[in-house]
Amino acid sequence: MLQRKIREELRSIVGEDGFFVDPEDLASYSYDAFVREFMPDAVILPRSTEEVSGIMKVAYREGIKIVARGAGTNLSGNAVAREGGMIMSFTRMNRIVEIDTRNRCAVVQPGVVNLDLQKEVMKMGFFYPPDPASMAVCTIGGNVALNAGGPRAVKYGVTRDYVMGLEVVLADGEIIRTGGKTVKNVSGYDLTRLLVGSEGTLGIVTEAVLRLIPLPRARKTLLAVFSSVEEVAETVSAILAAGIVPATLELMDRVIIDVIRDVGGASFPPNAAAVLLIEVDGDNESVEKQGNQIAAFCRERGAVQVETAKTQEEAERLWQARRSVAGAIYKVTPSLLVEDAVVPVSELPTIIRKIGDLSKQYNIKVGVLAHAGDGNLHPDIMTDVRNKEEMARVEKFIREMYEEVIALGGTLSGEHGIGIGKEKYMSLEFSRRTLDLMRGIKKVFDPKNILNPGSFLCER
Amino acid sequence: MLQRKIREELRSIVGEDGFFVDPEDLASYSYDAFVREFMPDAVILPRSTEEVSGIMKVAYREGIKIVARGAGTNLSGNAVAREGGMIMSFTRMNRIVEIDTRNRCAVVQPGVVNLDLQKEVMKMGFFYPPDPASMAVCTIGGNVALNAGGPRAVKYGVTRDYVMGLEVVLADGEIIRTGGKTVKNVSGYDLTRLLVGSEGTLGIVTEAVLRLIPLPRARKTLLAVFSSVEEVAETVSAILAAGIVPATLELMDRVIIDVIRDVGGASFPPNAAAVLLIEVDGDNESVEKQGNQIAAFCRERGAVQVETAKTQEEAERLWQARRSVAGAIYKVTPSLLVEDAVVPVSELPTIIRKIGDLSKQYNIKVGVLAHAGDGNLHPDIMTDVRNKEEMARVEKFIREMYEEVIALGGTLSGEHGIGIGKEKYMSLEFSRRTLDLMRGIKKVFDPKNILNPGSFLCER
């Protein structure tokens, strides 16, 4: 609970309509796409960098914990006040400040919705590739905080690869700038990329300079059905070995295919064990040629069905199965836990097989979606979080799965972040010393530990 | 001077042939491509990560300063023992440990020569793009420490964009690993990219996992001569706006052109004020098409001469002028100071004009080479470092030039690093607070300040 005097002070910075303490106003900030139980003490909505700075000066002086929040779509519990304190929401800082065509970059406030930016720059012939599944809702501030990726990462990389510079308000309210409108920069430590993916623990991003690239002129979508995951892995290897880097290589395993078929979402052959959705982009001639090559690779490696979209509508239809997965799953199960891990791409068949074995062992239903070109997989656990006995088995399954991921040389998060859900597994991935280094960095930026203070990156 | 007992201890780690203290042995480690005056107390040549760890344990215990050194080709004075202590050279850790075609990466020791790696992976159809000018000699360890770039950066990025993981020996000898054989990774702070470009101040890199991409099947080289830098800038804008990202866009200004012509290096038309060397790569059809488009853009924007190479030999001839610059300059002047800065690409004509004005004002001869696609420029100051009066003017010129770079929204180093030469300008680019944050990070990694302890990143 904030003292009255402090409430007045904060209200004077952001105005009457920018500060809330009533429970009914706070309720919609008590959850994100991962957790739903942390009621903040207050919510504040700054309109400018100066206001953010003013708020942080008060917060620093008074030791008020601050969690920055975009659209709350993250899957790691990073947008809630898990230790109480104040949520800082960026809905009123949602301007595209500038699209600088000559320097091929956009300057945006943190509250800008990812897809809005994509559409704006597209009008001018540019492309902003990072495409998290929530792109229609999620914001650039959240994308930067979690280093968001998406299906296009295999060709285009993730948010980190597009952030050229940041304006950041530090824990004590001081404003710094990192990077700028230049791609090349080796002056000092790379603070820009240290801040990207730092889960709100090092500073509050109030502006980002984002790199834009030329918009590909054409794209081609294919869907191939295989009778084993191994065949998919071999096909992906063949595609990449031929020098083709598709913009998307999305894999769905047998469990997912069966769920989609069961709810009448799409029809796949009965022996379908893996579906690969492939998209190439570039100029007209090359996508045509690459599309044909890929279709041939699929058939040579045993695909039982290969479809190539001839029109935009056909492409949409091919995407439909992939996009319908979450909806289909919720029709067959009360709860869905979406996990996130990365293995070296060669280990994808191994980890999918292992997940199958573990799910049998613990008697739980798990399907796998994967960005097959970069080894990033999302095991979808279909369960009922109210069933304690089952959840105990789920817990064991998850731990053993992540142990296997690490044993295969992988990492525990490809694009969702660590947040609340995964902090207990961090000792699998990081040595004590590595954690100490990270926590040392956190302390340099935030000595009073007021920025997202529940994070595993904080000293405990 | 190291005590006898410590010398014995170090020698016992690396063997008789891996430890030197005699002045004649040390002399060749007293300089790099930037400075030539710092005699180390000792030179040590480890053969393995374990030996590096053993050496660092001794160094940490005894407070011995350590500077890691690759080939010493850096242009910033980062490979010398500026505060005394020991040089750690990686000539005996020069193995390509693995080329993992399935995961499209190479695992290498720090002493591997950049071009050797490029050639090896090329045999297997892969491409390692970072191409510093010294690539025939410089090593991956140095490339990582300085985040080396090169002409191809406009399309392919710099070293940072290819480092997936590192093995690092910390100041006290503990070994940590960051990242791995996965491209996607958002677990914790991005220590990998914090270490890249950290100029040897945070840890000793003993192994790097480097991302490989498919080798482009074809390339096309063009050379265009313009009568003004503005025409070049417009041409570059037109090329990029058409969605073509050349692998190389190298600019030479009038001063450089005149020097090359004066020494008989190549013949350019008398009104040549700027030369643009362009290379596109990709598949056969697209490079052919893009080559034609680019030639048309050049002519439309006023090029007085456009040549397109039809064979590899012709391409080599077009590159010849660019490659001959340093040699030509040394024929007309005793000393060459190669500066390095980046401006937003739209400001390239402005900074080149400003450099022309300043060089007249201070009566010194300065040519400009630039990677015109990314705004990274190298002012080449032709002078005589023995002439104190002229050097005082050069000093003033450099400071005013860098002030202008910052005023234009640029950065003081694109690919050479800060090291000794540029530390005095760091307050132009960074606020006191930003410097404090960087120095705080340095202290977390290296509390005794024994790693490259002269750097501006160390607390003073």
Continuous segment of H or E residues that includes residue B177: strand B175-179
Categorise residue B448: left if φ over 0, alpha if ψ from -120 to 50, beta otherwise: alpha
DSSP per-residue codes, A191-216: HHHHHTTSTTSS-EEEEEEEE-EEPP
pLDDT > 80? residue B259 = yes
pLDDT of residue B37: 86
B184, B198, B242 ranked by CB distance to A415: nearest: B184
Residue B124 in contact with partner chain A when CB distance is under 8 A: no
Give me the percent of chain B exceeding a pLDDT of 70. Answer: 100
The helix/strand/coil state of A46 is coil
B378 to chain A: which residues are within 8 Å by CB? none
Q: What is the pLDDT of residue B1?
A: 79
In this prediction, residue B289 carries a pLDDT of 93
Q: Which residue has the tokens 């090291």?
A: B419
Q: How many CA atoms lie within 13 A of A127 on its CB side?
A: 19
- The verdict on a CB contact (< 8 Å) between A186 and B174 is no
Q: In this prediction, does ipTM exceed 0.90?
A: yes
Q: What is the pLDDT of residues A182-233, one digit of tens each?
A: 989 999 999 999 999 999 999 999 999 999 999 999 999 999 999 999 999 9
B264-308 pLDDT, tens digit each: 878 899 899 999 999 999 988 889 999 999 999 999 999 999 999
Is the model's pLDDT at B258 over the cut of 90?
A: yes
Which residue on chain A is closest to B441 by alpha carbon?
A441
Q: HSE-up of A349 (CA within 13 Å, CB side)? A: 14
What pLDDT shows up at residue B33?
Answer: 87
pLDDT digits (tens, 9 = 90+) for A371-394: 999 999 999 999 999 999 999 999
Confidence of residue B373 (pLDDT cuts 50, 70, 90): very high
The continuous run of DSSP H or E covering B430 comes out as: none
What value does the mean pLDDT take over residues B437-444? 98
- Would the CB atoms of A188 and B431 count as touching at under 8 Å? no
Residues 9 to 38 of A: which have CB under 8 A from any B CB? none
Name the DSSP class of A81: -
Task: Measure B330 CA to nearest chain A CA, in Å.
Answer: 27
Q: Report the pLDDT value the prediction gives residue A241, as an integer from 0 to 100.
A: 85
Tell me: pLDDT of B4 over 90: yes
**Per-chain mean pLDDT for chain B:** 95
User: Rounded CA gap, A370 and A352, in Å?
Assistant: 10
Nearest to A76 by CA among A204, A200, A202, A208: A200
Instruction: State which amino acid sits at residue B6.
Output: I
Tell me the pTM. 0.96
B344–A438 C-beta distance less than 8 A = no
Task: Please report, for residues A354, A406, A408, A409, A414, the alpha-carbon distance to residue A403 in angstroms, rounded to integers and kept in the order given.
Answer: 11, 5, 9, 10, 15
Which residues in chain B touch residue A178, judged by CB atoms under 8 angstroms apart?
434
Match 């609340």 to its residue by tokens. Answer: A420
Euclidean distance between CA atoms A451 and A201, whole angstroms: 5
Give mean pLDDT, residues B190-213: 98
Residue A144 touches chain B, beta carbons under 8 Å: no
- State the smallest CA–CA distance between residue B343 and chain A in angstroms: 6
What count of other Cβ atoms lies within 10 Å of the Cβ of residue B360?
Answer: 10
B68's enclosing H/E stretch is strand B66-69
> Considering just the CA atoms, what is the radius of gyration of chain A in Å?
23
Q: What per-residue string of b and e applies to B218-257 under the rule 16 or more CB within 10 Å gives b?
A: ebbbbbbbbbebbbbbbbbbbbbbebbbbbbbbbbbbbbb
Query: E-strand spans in B170-247?
Result: 175-179, 204-211, 213-214, 218-226
Residues 374-433 on B with a CB inside 8 Å of A are 374-376, 409-418, 426, 429-431, 433
For residue A291, which of A374, A221, A371 has the smallest C-alpha distance?
A: A221
Residue A202: C-alpha distances to residues A168, A420, B64, B113 (Å) = 9, 17, 33, 37
A102 interfacial to chain B (CB closer than 8 Å): yes
Residues of chain A with confidence (pLDDT) below 50: none
Residues whose CB falls within 8 Å of the CB of residue B320, separated by 6 or more in sequence, listed in order: B265, B266
Question: pLDDT value at position B242?
Answer: 87
Chain B interface disruption, residue of A176, A186, A285, most B CBs within 10 A: A186
* pLDDT mean over B392-420: 96
Q: Report whether pLDDT(B181) > 80.
A: yes
- Is A147 within 8 Å of chain B by CB? yes
- CA-to-CA distance for A59 and A65, rounded, in angstroms? 7
Name the strand (E) or helix (H) holding A257.
helix A254-262
Chain B closest-CA separation from residue A22 CA (Å): 34
Where are the strands (E) in B56-185, listed by range?
A: 66-69, 86-89, 96-100, 105-108, 126-127, 163-169, 175-179
Q: How far is A341 from chain B (nearest CA, A)?
A: 9
Nearest to A189 among B158, B342, B438 (CB): B438
Residue with tokens 């064991």: A396
Q: Which residues of B touch A179 (CB under 8 A)?
A: 411
CA dihedral A217, A220, A221, A226 (to 10 degrees): -140
Instruction: Read off the tokens for B91.
Output: 């000539």
Between residues 164 and 193 of chain B, which touch chain A (CB distance below 8 Å)? 170, 174, 176, 178-191, 193
pLDDT of residue A36: 84
Tell whether B373 is within 8 A of chain A (Cβ): no
- The answer to whether the Cα torsion of B190, B196, B202, B206 is positive or negative is positive
Contact yes or no for B411 and A214 at CB 8 A: no
**Residues B120-140: tens digit of each pLDDT:** 999 999 999 999 999 999 999
Q: Give the residue among B381, B378, B408, B406 at the shortest CA–CA distance from B393.
A: B381
Distance CA A68, CA B281 (A): 43
Chain B neighbors of A219, CB-CB under 8 A: none
